[in-house]
Structure formats: structure tokens, C-alpha cells
């Protein structure tokens, strides 16, 4: 199920990064989930959307096992499995796909937005899903909007699925009305509870209108245009950001809202873009900041001074490294990221301690060797690496948990710290 890309080129090439941090480029075998994984959190977010993976049995197993907890819910994702008949080219794939979509929409009149999600098998790659989505959209308009994107492991790592999904939505957003006021668009899937907290904070700050992408209902597409300033809530949305800028929106550069400091910097960047005074900002955020600091403080004794090694997986690694080093005094050994968007990450790179090893890309064997040699107190990595490292006596944290758990914002800062503390306390208990 893991997408194992071919060995492209081994070795590491240091290049200059933003700020003073040198960034080492690594090329080799990768060990990450594919972009289909994003469906697991996206299907919960847009409540009347449906994700139809066009793929193989492997794809079906991946999302079923990753989303197993949702088994009793009304399913909002499925896999159209291409069987051998299709693969032999006997059936016309376009007709087959139209038939599957027709059957699905007939059975599920609640679906208002359907994503056709591409995958790896060569027969799927040959299908022009974009054209199929446009054709079907015409057939089912205006009842259902049909879009497509790729979640293939050849093209995407696991958080890039969300980027591809949101980027496919951007061209469908309505334009701003003439003379539209300056508006804020928060971009990136957040748990509803977190989104509600941020909406309240923007309201208290006097930042309005403040909207969110993805939206909760398919019909509530936020308008976009030159009076829109957008603020990324997730660090893996390079394509979505580009698509928004093509529509005239402007990015607010900021840290990501992880931890008390990250959340404050993120909100402050928005406040400054909307002319909110420092005094009002401080007054509106002070109680929540104090709660966040308290929440984090509870886990300091467990984590301060402990060493941590982050494998490249979710693209959350740089903001997480900033959080654990600055708010929990953990010692960074290595921070890997599958891709590094230098502009979006500049505020994070600026806050990392000098001399930390930052890598972009992956050569999994070399990274494992370095991790084993360093024997960190905590290793953040994908599921595939966690078990072997645990068996070797290393404490691990699954990076995917950081995506599935609400961790952004002030009220969640303590929970985020706890996610790092839990493997260490569990291990300490076992040792006792």
C-alpha cells in the first residue's frame, strides 16, 4: 500500500535554504502513503461530497483500512475497481465509469459534489479523468458538481492528496462581487471544532468576512478575487496557493497555527493584514494564549531536553519541529520533509535553531542508518517504519496521527504536546 518510488538517485546534496539553514536534498527510496489517504479526513469535512477512487483492489484496501473507524457511518467514499476485463481493454473504460457514476448518483441523491480520484494502475493513468468529470458534470448539472484529481502514489505523498483536491476546487469558486470588501480565506482542512474556535477569534478581532476552504457544504463555495487575502492553515498546499493566486488572491505569510507561538504568529499576521491594532490583538487573544501555555507546560517536564528525529512524511515536520524545540525545549536531531516550499516555509525556517539538519526528499535507508546511530528519545515517522524501530527499542510517534487529531490553535496546543509526550510516558511505565 505504501508507494515505493523507484530509486531515482542516491546520495545527498546540500543546498542553501531560506535564512541560515542549509537544506540537504535526498533522493532514494521513499516510504510514505499515497495521496488517497487525504480522503480519510476530507470526506468528514465536506459533508455532502463523495470521493470515488478509480483504482485497484490495493487502493480499496488502503482507504478502507485507513478509514476503518468510519465503517458504521454513511460511507462518503468508495473505489471503482478496475478488474481484469477492463485492464485487458475489452470494456470501454469511459462507458464503464459513466455507468458506475450513474448508479452511485441514483442511489445517493444526497451527494452534491463528487470527486473522481485517480490512482496508480497504468489503465487508470490512461483515462482522462478531467474530461470524464467535465462530461459527467454537464450530465448531472446543476444537481451535482463533478471534479477530478490524482491521489496516485506515483504523483503524490499522503498530504498532497488534500492539495490536489483543493486545487481542483479553486477554479469552481465564484468570483468576488464588484466592490467586495477585503476578505479573509483560511485554506486547509481543519477539524470543525478548530474551525469554530478560529471563526470566533476572527470575529473578536473584527476580521470579517472570514471564510474557510474546504467549506462544510458543497453549495457554500467561498468567493475569491483580488480583495481576498488567504492564510494557509496547512503547510502542504502549494498547488492550491498557486491556483488561488491565479484568481487574484494574495497570501498572508505566516507561521502555521501549531502551538501557542505558531497560533499567535498566524493570527497576528492576519490581524496586521486587516489593520487590527496590537492592543486589540493582545486583548482578544490573551486568555486563550494563557490557556495554551498552561496546556503545553503540563508536558514540559516529560519532553524538555529529549532528542527527536522527524522522518519526512506529512510536510508538517518543520512547524512541528519549531513547536517542540521552542515551546517544549526538545533537541532536534534531524527534520525531514518530503517537499519544501521555500516561500511558504520561510517563517518556520527562521525560527528553527541554528545547525539543525534539515532534509528534503528521502533516502530511507540512509535516514534509518542516521536515526539508529543517533538513537533519539523520540522518532516521528510513518506507520511502516514505526514497528521496526519500536522493536529496536526506539520510541515512535506515527506522523499520520498528527493529521487525524485536531492539533491546531490555542485550545489544542496542550493536546499537541501530549501527542509527543505519550510514547515517552508509556515507555517509562513499561520500564518501571
Contact residues: ligand SF4, CB under 6 A? 1, 3, 34, 36, 55-56, 58-59, 62, 119-120, 151-153
CB of residue 141 vs ligand SF4: minimum separation in angstroms?
29
Phi/psi for 274 (5° steps) reads: -110, 15
CB 59 within 8 A of CB 36: yes
CB of residue 149 vs ligand SF4: minimum separation in angstroms?
12
Q: Which of 120/213 has CB closer to ligand SF4?
A: 120
- Classify the phi-psi angles of 95: left when phi > 0, otherwise alpha if psi is within -120 to 50, otherwise beta: alpha
Q: Judging by DSSP bridges, how do beta strands 357-362 and 22-27 pair with one another? A: parallel
CB of residue 227 vs ligand SF4: minimum separation in angstroms?
38
Closest C-alpha among 128, 119, 145 to residue 39: 119
In the block, which residue shows the cell 496542550?
Answer: 414
* Cell numbers representing residue 291 in the block: 490557556
Rounded-to-integer distance, Cα 343 and Cα 341, Å: 6
CB of residue 46 vs ligand SF4: minimum separation in angstroms?
21
* Cell numbers representing residue 367 in the block: 535516514
Strand blocks (E) in 328-414:
331-337, 357-362, 378-381, 396-398
CB of residue 6 vs ligand SF4: minimum separation in angstroms?
13
Rounded-to-integer distance, Cα 380 and Cα 319, Å: 13
Residue positions counted in the chain: 432
Q: Which of 117/133 has CB closer to ligand SF4?
A: 117
Q: Which of 63/333 has CB closer to ligand SF4?
A: 63
Rounded-to-integer distance, Cα 284 and Cα 317, Å: 29
Q: Which of 2/425 has CB closer to ligand SF4?
A: 2
Q: Which of 133/371 has CB closer to ligand SF4?
A: 133
Number of Cβ atoms within 10 Å of the Cβ of 43: 20
CB 22 within 8 A of CB 14: yes
Report the residue number whose CB is nearest to ligand SF4: 153
Rounded-to-integer distance, Cα 391 and Cα 410, Å: 35
CB of residue 13 vs ligand SF4: minimum separation in angstroms?
27
Rounded-to-integer distance, Cα 237 and Cα 71, Å: 29
Q: Which of 28/259 has CB closer to ligand SF4?
A: 28
Phi/psi for 122 (5° steps) reads: -60, -35
R_g of the chain computed on alpha carbons: 22
Q: Which of 55/257 has CB closer to ligand SF4?
A: 55
Q: Which of 36/194 has CB closer to ligand SF4?
A: 36
CB 379 within 8 A of CB 397: yes
Long-range contacts, stretch 245-252, CB < 8 angstroms, 24+ apart? 246/170, 247/170, 247/171, 247/173, 247/175, 248/224, 249/185, 249/224, 249/225, 250/226, 251/344
Q: Which of 55/188 has CB closer to ligand SF4?
A: 55
User: Which run of H or E residues covers position 49?
Assistant: strand 49-55
Q: Which of 87/180 has CB closer to ligand SF4?
A: 87
CB of residue 120 vs ligand SF4: minimum separation in angstroms?
3
CB of residue 100 vs ligand SF4: minimum separation in angstroms?
17
CB of residue 55 vs ligand SF4: minimum separation in angstroms?
5
CB of residue 388 vs ligand SF4: minimum separation in angstroms?
20
Amino acid at each position: 500500500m505504501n508507494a515505493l518510488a523507484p530509486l531515482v538517485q542516491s546520495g545527498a546534496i546540500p543546498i542553501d535554504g531560506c535564512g541560515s539553514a542549509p537544506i540537504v536534498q535526498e533522493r532514494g527510496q521513499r516510504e510514505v502513503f499515497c495521496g488517497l489517504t487525504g480522503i480519510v479526513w476530507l470526506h468528514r469535512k465536506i459533508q455532502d461530497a463523495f470521493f470515488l477512487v478509480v483504482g485497484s483492489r490495493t487502493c480499496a484496501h488502503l482507504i478502507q483500512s485507513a478509514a476503518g473507524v468510519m465503517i458504521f457511518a454513511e460511507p462518503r467514499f468508495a473505489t471503482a475497481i478496475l478488474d481484469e476485463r477492463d485492464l485487458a481493454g475489452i470494456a470501454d473504460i469511459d462507458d464503464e465509469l459513466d455507468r458506475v457514476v450513474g448508479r452511485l448518483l441514483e442511489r445517493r441523491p444526497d451527494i452534491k459534489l463528487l470527486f473522481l480520484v485517480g490512482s496508480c494502475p497504468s489503465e487508470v493513468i490512461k483515462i482522462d479523468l478531467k474530461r470524464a468529470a467535465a462530461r459527467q458534470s454537464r450530465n448531472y448539472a446543476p444537481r451535482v458538481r463533478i471534479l477530478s484529481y490524482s491521489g496516485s502514489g506515483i504523483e503524490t505523498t499522503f498530504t498532497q492528496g488534500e492539495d490536489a483536491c483543493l486545487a481542483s476546487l479553486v477554479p469552481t469558486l465564484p468570483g468576488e462581487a464588484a466592490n467586495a470588501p477585503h476578505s479573509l480565506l483560511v485554506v486547509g482542512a481543519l477539524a470543525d471544532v478548530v474551525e469554530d474556535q478560529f471563526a470566533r477569534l476572527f470575529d473578536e478581532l473584527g476580521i470579517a468576512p472570514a471564510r474557510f476552504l474546504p467549506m462544510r457544504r458543497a453549495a457554500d463555495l467561498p468567493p475569491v478575487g483580488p480583495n481576498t487575502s488567504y492564510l494557509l492553515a496547512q503547510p502542504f498546499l502549494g498547488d492550491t496557493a498557486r491556483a488561488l493566486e491565479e484568481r487574484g488572491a494574495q497570501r498572508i505569510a505566516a507561521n502555521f497555527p501549531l502551538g501557542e507561538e505558531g497560533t499567535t504568529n498566524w493570527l497576528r499576521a492576519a490581524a496586521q493584514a486587516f489593520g487590527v491594532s496590537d492592543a486589540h490583538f493582545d486583548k482578544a487573544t490573551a486568555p486563550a494564549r494563557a490557556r495554551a501555555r498552561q496546556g503545553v507546560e503540563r508536558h514540559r517536564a516529560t519532553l524538555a531536553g529529549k532528542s527527536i528525529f522527524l522522518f519526512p512524511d506529512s510536510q508538517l515536520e518543520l512547524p512541528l519541529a519549531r513547536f517542540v524545540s521552542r515551546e517544549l525545549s526538545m533537541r532536534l536531531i534531524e527534520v525531514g520533509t518530503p517537499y519544501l516550499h521555500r516561500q511558504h516555509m520561510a517563517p518556520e525556517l527562521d525560527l528553527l535553531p541554528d545547525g539543525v539538519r534539515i532534509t528534503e526528499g528521502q533516502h530511507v535507508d540512509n535516514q534509518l542508518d542516521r536515526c539508529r546511530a543517533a538513537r533519539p528519545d523520540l522518532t516521528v515517522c510513518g506507520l511502516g517504519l514505526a514497528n521496526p524501530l519500536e522493536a529496536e527499542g526506539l520510541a515512535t510517534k506515527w506522523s499520520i496521527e498528527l493529521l487525524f487529531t485536531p492539533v491546531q490553535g490555542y485550545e489544542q496546543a496542550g493536546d499537541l504536546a501530549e501527542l509527543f509526550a505519550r510514547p515517552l510516558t508509556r515507555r517509562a511505565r513499561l520500564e518501571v
